[in-house]
Amino acid sequence: MENNLNQNILKNIGIVFEKSKGCKLESKLFMEIDNELFVLADYFKTSKTQAFFIAMLFTLSYKGEFVNMKELVEHFECNPVRLLEYNDDTKLSPRSVIA
């Protein structure tokens, strides 16, 4: 049973990551992946926005030891300032994310 749960979590992380490529962090993305974010938020005991960034950091961390703002900006294809709009919910800041 736990293996099925882990597989479901990894599947949802993968879906969120893939659908977020080039999304420019537009609100329509969050509506499109609401079900996946619900599952992840429940599993991680976080908000949906926090679950979204956990999925990004988890997946991008496989490219290297740290995930930096540049990698997030490139993934989302957005202005770096756009990431700061999520600072309150995610506690992301240039200093905490930059390697």
Q: Decide if 54 contacts 47 (C-beta within 8 A).
A: no
Most confidently modeled range among 29-38, 45-54, 61-70: 29-38
Provide the phi-psi class of 77: left if phi over 0, else alpha when psi is between -120 and 50, else beta. Answer: left
pLDDT higher than 60, residue 58: yes
Q: Decide if 48 contacts 37 (C-beta within 8 A).
A: yes
- pLDDT, residue 1, reads 57
Measured between alpha carbons, how far is 44 from 18 in angstroms, rounded to an integer?
20
The domain locations on the chain are 2-97
- pLDDT, residue 37, reads 97
Section 22-44 average pLDDT = 95
pLDDT higher than 90, residue 62: no
pLDDT confidence band for 98 (50 / 70 / 90): very low
